[in-house]
Structure 1
Amino acid sequence: MLVTTDGRRLAWFEVGDPQGPLVIHNHGGPSSRLEAGLFADAASQHGLRLVCVDRPGIGQSSPQDPRSFSGWADDITTIADALGVREFGVTGWSEGGPWALAAAAFIDPARLRHVSSIAGGSYGAFGDNWAKQHLSAIDALGGFLALHFMPGFSLMYAALGRTAVHSREAYIQQLLKAVNAYDQEIVQRPGFATAFGEATAECFAQGSEGLVRDAERLYRAWDFDVRRIERRVHFWQGLDDRLVPAVINRQLAVRMPGAVWHPVPEAGHFVAIGSAEDVFAIAAEELSHHP
């Protein structure tokens, strides 16, 4: 944990090789720094130091108002500086994908040597809630509430938090009903649901407001233009993702000059777990090359 110059706490959880190249992972939502534990084996296998940071108001990190993508990029570089690291990479899964893309937009490529967005919730990339026609009914409703009725948006996440914290088994069962067979196999692996549930519950350590503010930024028009990101950015996407349909991130990839598209047939939203070794193999390779 560190304290920023404006007095905020930033908390993180670290796995992998403490002497290896640094990758800062952007967790999904609802999730937290504990998500790093889901990638511990893959990070260790490729000799990477994986650090997952609670975003503001989530887990043990202080709230921040207002939130912005550029502000989060500043926090990422602050953490790298605190760890004494000049060059590093970022990854982001689900709700963390857009925050990884923000790093690509705002951080000097000479420092940021690798970027991966994995099944990212890219709902505001081309304007307010632009991806609504591709979303599930509940996510489309979430976008509408985020833009037009924040009290309703807050209530939606408060209810989600109560289930995630107090009824973890019910939360996992709801998740299993929403995803495909590929995802179900991953979630039902020994120990996975417990670790995933702990990362999810920790998201609400301070209540649901941190997640509300985090998710709101995804639906509102982003404060950067992905079409101007020329550096290499890896997009990992399950082609049978029931939570973030592939068509959403495919549209980003075709409009981003430096995008590398990694489609995974039959994979769902948990492609981040199923393809973790591939993701981190590329991260390790790019971080081993110096300009």
Structure 2
Amino acid sequence: MVTRPSRQATMQLHDGRRLAWSEWGSVDGIPVLFCTGAGMSSWLGFGASALSNLGLRLIAIDRPGLGLSDPHPHKTLSSWADDMREFFAAQSLDNVLAVGFSQGAPFAFAASAQGGVKALAIVSGQDELTYPGLLSLLHPDVKGMIAAIQQDPVGFEQHFSQMATADGLWQLIIGMSAECDRILYESDTFSQSFRRALQEGFSQGAQGYARDLVNALGSWPMKLEEITIPVDIWYGGQDTSTVHSPDFGATLALRLPNVSRTFEPNEGGSILWTKSEQILSKLKSHLSHA
């Protein structure tokens, strides 16, 4: 289900910051940018057994301030998109596909909006929760966080970075997960990889995660209505996370011009791992239709 990275590497960005990433699959495969979940390093991948057959190369990035990537002093979704544009050019990556899981969804959308991505899959993704049609559907705790960020983003980030820990985030994820997801997440091999990714994600402290949270829960700078590449969105009906899409991507699908929504009523938020091959196969199929 999960395997350790086949390769890990770093590069220096033009401003001197280090950007780190992990890879699975063939070095000559079609690149798939993987935007990981909240607070994680790039250690936890998905679909490793399907990558070779599909001719894909999964590339998971340590977002700035997480894992081995240096922090960005003013990280935003737009600065992340700039980093990815530089990364694609430096690594000579063409026909890039992208996957955004959970909190990685807004980062995947941001990278796709700047033009370097050919097709995108959003899996158990966090929606743009400030969108007017979603506010009434949100859990009160999430509404409270969004209000606090809107009122004082700097203060929220400072407060959150002082209290958040890798173990605390693990407990939060397990606590808000459905039983079908907990069975997977708490299994020996998976939990070891998941918790390692969180420990590495917090290795520089909690500031990187706190900044991601502010960026993801605030208003997004890109207009989803203007993203014209194919977008596959995948949700499981058993997904009980309060920070994913509150209507399982139904409103999100209405905002995207070129979208396919798959709703699996018996799957949970872990659909990224239980349906890896189907997600990757469908994503790759958009290249042949381009």
TM-score range, shorter chain: 0.7 to 0.9
Q: CA deviation at 1:153?
A: 4.7
Aligned CA-pair RMSD: 2.3
Asked if the contact 2:118/2:229 (under 8 Å) is kept, the reply is: no
Q: CA deviation at 1:126?
A: 2.9
Asked if the contact 1:182/1:266 (under 8 Å) is kept, the reply is: no
Q: Deviations over 1:29-53 (max 9, x none)?
A: 02121122x4423334423110100
State the partner residue of 2:222: 224
More off after superposition, 138-147 vs 1-10: 138-147
Amino acid at match of 1:258: N
Pair 1:85–1:174, CA change in 2 (3 A): closer
State the partner residue of 2:6: none
1:62 & 1:249 partners in 2: Cα distance? 33
Report the TM-score when normalising by structure 1.
0.86
User: What are structure 2's unaligned runs of at least 5 residues?
Assistant: 1-9
Pair 1:185–1:236, CA change in 2 (3 A): same
Q: Runs ≥4 in structure 1, deviation > 6 angstroms? A: none
Asked if the contact 1:24/1:88 (under 8 Å) is kept, the reply is: yes
SS of the aligned residue for 2:118 comes to: strand
2:216 & 2:159 partners in 1: Cα distance? 18
1:240 & 1:177 partners in 2: Cα distance? 14
Pair 1:69–1:152, CA change in 2 (3 A): closer
State the partner residue of 1:77: 85
Pair 1:100–1:71, CA change in 2 (3 A): same
Please state if 1:23 is matched with 2:32.
Answer: yes
State the partner residue of 1:258: 258
State the partner residue of 1:34: 43
Amino acid at match of 2:43: L
Amino acid at match of 2:113: A
SS of the aligned residue for 1:78 comes to: helix
> Superposed, which structure 2 residues align to 1:63-74 within 5 Å?
63-74=71-82
Count of residues in Structure 1 that have an aligned counterpart in Structure 2: 278
Pair 1:93–1:162, CA change in 2 (3 A): closer
1:68 & 1:201 partners in 2: Cα distance? 23
Report the TM-score when normalising by structure 2.
0.86
Pair 1:284–1:151, CA change in 2 (3 A): same
SS of the aligned residue for 1:121 comes to: coil
Asked if the contact 2:126/2:245 (under 8 Å) is kept, the reply is: no
State the partner residue of 1:122: 127
Q: Deviations over 1:53-108 (max 9, x none)?
A: 0111111111113223232222222222222222211111001011111122221x
| Residue number among 196, 200, 217 corresponding to 2:198 in the alignment | 200
Amino acid at match of 1:241: D
More off after superposition, 82-91 vs 39-48: 39-48
More off after superposition, 245-254 vs 81-90: 245-254
Amino acid at match of 1:103: A
Q: CA deviation at 1:138?
A: 3.4
Q: CA deviation at 1:221?
A: 1.2
Q: CA deviation at 1:148?
A: 2.3
> Superposed, which structure 2 residues align to 1:246-285 within 5 Å?
246-247=246-247, 249-285=249-285
Pair 1:194–1:246, CA change in 2 (3 A): same
Pair 1:174–1:8, CA change in 2 (3 A): closer
Asked if the contact 2:105/2:122 (under 8 Å) is kept, the reply is: yes
* Larger relative helix fraction: 1
